[in-house]
């Protein structure tokens, strides 16, 4: 059979007609998409941002949280919240010179900032025990979020100390333990909260391997607890302020007569023999805040170390031997929800601060966009903020922040004071 010879040069290839048509159509579609999308960006015909629907349902606008005439302004007590922030700002500036605050300082120096605030009475313990006080607590973090000299390190220290450490003692501690806390506060002693363990993973708090075993000290009925980390997976990890803290609260399994009674909270002097604290290492940022890995090697604790408002260990003599009886108030022992109740207000505080910080970011962005001129064709410039897609984007972010801020404010106002039951 005679082989047909092509009638085109050997160094060139010819596509089949169907492939040529497909390529041409694809090129046309691509060009059309580029032109159409560019036009859409300039006319805002096809792009929708997440909060556009909120504006549509609000008939083009949301009530301002800054306008005293709106119902939202009065219901969210914006006047009162702003007054609190102004008072706390003046107090903050009287205790710390913003120009001297360095959020990139070594953690040993940075921790002294919080000690200064404690000794100066920046926030009283009422700020985490009453509804009025909680409004001050949230306002204090918003004040810090607005300071250009701060990133977030000092705010996290505040939350850890006041909310997790002090708040848990006030909610679960005895009257003697609360009295001790007041003295420690005025002395500028720092606290931390040790819950998360290396092996817990996403079940942080629900998996607790650290044990606090009741041990007898003598034959006169005096005893205490032996705090121990049984394995590397039980090490407390990423403990904020864990290196700088003078005292800490440890969540550990209470064991009496070889029987585990569940997770309980113990007050620990961080300088006690047998406590090991290691730095988690340098982070990409926020190194002014220390994060520690903490372990316990048969640390001896007094009987008063257990936060004992809801439960305690009662020694009693039976015959010729002493026995330890676990006694709790109410119908059942304290639950994990009661032990970790301060985590909720802490997360609300963080989100409230983030919203405040983002408001500042939005303000800087809008100011830049309003002054930045960009070419829209060969002969015409306009402010970046006036481009339809940019204007809608900024508006969408502002609406989103307004909704989140209103939600946060409403939650703060409705948040009950820390549970004592």
pLDDT at 167: 92
**Comparing C-alpha atoms, which of 370, 363, 394, 398 is closest to residue 384?**
370
For 125-129, 151-155, 324-328, 412-416, which range has the lowest pLDDT when averaged over its residues?
A: 412-416
Residue 1: CB atoms within 10 Å: 3
For residue 308, what are its two tokens? Answer: 């004992």
pLDDT at 419: 47
Residue 136 has pLDDT above 70, yes or no: yes
pLDDT at 59: 53
Residue 40 has pLDDT above 60, yes or no: no
Q: What is the mean pLDDT of residues 240-268?
A: 96
Confidence of residue 367 (pLDDT cuts 50, 70, 90): very high
pLDDT at 42: 44
**Comparing C-alpha atoms, which of 44, 40, 41, 56 is closest to residue 399?**
56
**Comparing C-alpha atoms, which of 292, 106, 276 is closest to residue 193?**
292
pLDDT at 408: 72
**Comparing C-alpha atoms, which of 83, 90, 201, 139 is closest to residue 413?**
139
Residue spans of the domains in the chain: they are 71-188+342-414, 191-339
**Comparing C-alpha atoms, which of 386, 391, 384, 389 is closest to residue 368?**
384
| pLDDT tens per residue across span 261-317 | 999 999 999 999 999 999 999 988 889 999 999 999 999 999 999 999 999 999 988
Q: Are 206 and 155 in contact (CB under 8 A)?
A: no
Residues in a beta bridge with 269:
247
**Comparing C-alpha atoms, which of 359, 172, 350 is closest to residue 251?**
172
Confidence of residue 70 (pLDDT cuts 50, 70, 90): low
For 114-118, 226-230, 266-270, 415-419, which range has the lowest pLDDT when averaged over its residues?
A: 415-419
pLDDT at 201: 78
Residue 143: CB atoms within 10 Å: 23
- Per-residue three-class SS string for 391-409: HHHHHHHHHHHHHHHHHHH
pLDDT at 4: 46
Residues 6+ apart with CB under 8 A from 61: 55
**Comparing C-alpha atoms, which of 404, 370, 415 is closest to residue 65?**
404
Confidence of residue 48 (pLDDT cuts 50, 70, 90): very low
Residue 37 has pLDDT above 80, yes or no: no
pTM comes to 0.78
Q: What is the mean pLDDT of residues 50-73?
A: 52
**Comparing C-alpha atoms, which of 105, 89, 209, 79 is closest to residue 157?**
105
Helix 17-43 × helix 388-414 angle, to 10°: 60
CA distance 72 to 75: 5
- Per-residue three-class SS string for the chain: CCCCCCCCCCCCCCCCHHHHHHHHHHHHHHHHHHHHHHHHHHHCCCCCCCCHHHHHHCCCCCCCCCCCCCHHHHHCCHHHHHHHHHHHHHHHHHHCCHHHCCCCCCHHHHHHHHHHHHHCCCCCHHHHCCHHHHHHHHHHHHHHHCCCCCCCHHHHHHHHHHHHHHHHHHHHCCHHHHHHHHHHHHCCCCEEEECCEHHHHHHECCECCCEEEEEECCCCCCEEEEEECCCHHHCEEEEECCCCCCEEEEEEEEEECCEEEEEEEEEEECCCCCEEEEECCCCCCCCCCCEEEEEECCEEEEHHHECCCCEEEEEEEECCEEEEEEEECCCCCCCHHHHCCHHHHHHHHHHHHHHHHHHHHHHHHHHHHHHCEEECCCCCEEEHHHCHHHHHHHHHHHHHHHHHHHHHHHHHHHCCCCCCC
Q: What is the mean pLDDT of residues 19-45?
A: 55
| pLDDT tens per residue across span 179-214 | 999 999 999 999 999 999 999 877 777 789 999 999
Say if strands 373-375 and 381-383 run parallel, antiparallel, or are unpaired: antiparallel
For residue 202, what are its two tokens? Answer: 């996403």
| pLDDT tens per residue across span 321-343 | 888 999 988 888 888 888 888 88
CA distance 201 to 315: 37
Please compute, for residue 351, the number of CA atoms within 13 A of its CA located in the half-sphere on the CB side.
16
CA distances from 75 to 61, 224, 316, 410 (A): 18, 51, 56, 9
Place domain 191-339 in its CATH homologous superfamily: Butyryl-CoA Dehydrogenase, subunit A, domain 2 (2.40.110.10)
Residue 176 has pLDDT above 50, yes or no: yes
């Amino acid at each position: 059979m005679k082989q047909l010879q092509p009638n085109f040069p050997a160094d060139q290839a010819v596509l089949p007609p169907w492939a040529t048509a497909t390529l041409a159509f694809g090129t046309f579609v691509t060009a059309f998409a580029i032109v159409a999308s560019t036009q859409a960006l300039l006319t805002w015909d096809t792009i929708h941002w997440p909060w556009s629907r909120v504006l549509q349902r609000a008939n083009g606008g949301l009530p301002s949280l800054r306008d005293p005439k709106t119902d939202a302004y009065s219901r969210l007590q914006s006047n009162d919240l702003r007054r609190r922030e102004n008072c706390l700002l003046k107090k903050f500036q009287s205790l710390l010179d913003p120009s001297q605050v360095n959020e990139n300082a070594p953690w040993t120096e940075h921790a002294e900032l919080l000690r200064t605030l404690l000794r100066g009475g920046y926030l009283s313990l009422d700020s985490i025990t009453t509804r009025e006080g909680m409004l001050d607590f949230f306002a204090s973090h918003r004040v810090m979020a607005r300071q250009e000299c701060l990133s977030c390190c000092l705010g996290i220290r505040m939350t850890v100390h006041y909310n997790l450490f002090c708040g848990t003692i006030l909610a679960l501690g005895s009257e003697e333990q609360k009295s001790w806390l007041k003295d420690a506060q005025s002395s500028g002693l720092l606290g931390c909260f040790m819950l998360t363990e290396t092996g817990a993973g996403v079940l942080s708090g629900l998996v607790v391997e650290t044990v606090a075993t009741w041990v007898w000290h003598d034959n006169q009925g005096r005893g205490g607890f032996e705090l121990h980390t049984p394995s590397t997976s039980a090490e407390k990890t990423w403990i904020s302020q864990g290196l700088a803290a003078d005292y800490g609260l440890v969540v550990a399994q209470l064991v009496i007569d070889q029987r585990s009674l569940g997770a309980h909270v113990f007050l620990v002097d961080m300088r006690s023999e047998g406590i090991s604290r290691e730095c988690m290492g340098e982070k990409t940022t926020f190194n002014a805040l220390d994060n520690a890995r903490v372990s316990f090697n048969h640390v001896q604790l007094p009987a008063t170390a257990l936060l004992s408002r809801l439960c305690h260990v009662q020694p009693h003599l039976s015959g010729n031997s002493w026995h330890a009886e676990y006694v709790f108030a109410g119908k059942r022992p304290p639950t994990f929800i009661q032990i970790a109740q301060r985590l909720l207000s802490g997360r609300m505080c963080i989100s409230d601060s983030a919203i405040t910080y983002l408001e500042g970011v939005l303000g800087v962005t809008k100011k830049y966009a309003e002054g930045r001129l960009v070419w829209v064709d060969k002969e015409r410039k306009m402010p970046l903020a006036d481009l339809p897609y940019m204007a809608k984007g900024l508006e969408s972010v502002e609406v989103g922040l307004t909704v989140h801020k209103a939600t946060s404010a409403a939650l703060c106002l409705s948040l009950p004071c820390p549970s004592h039951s």
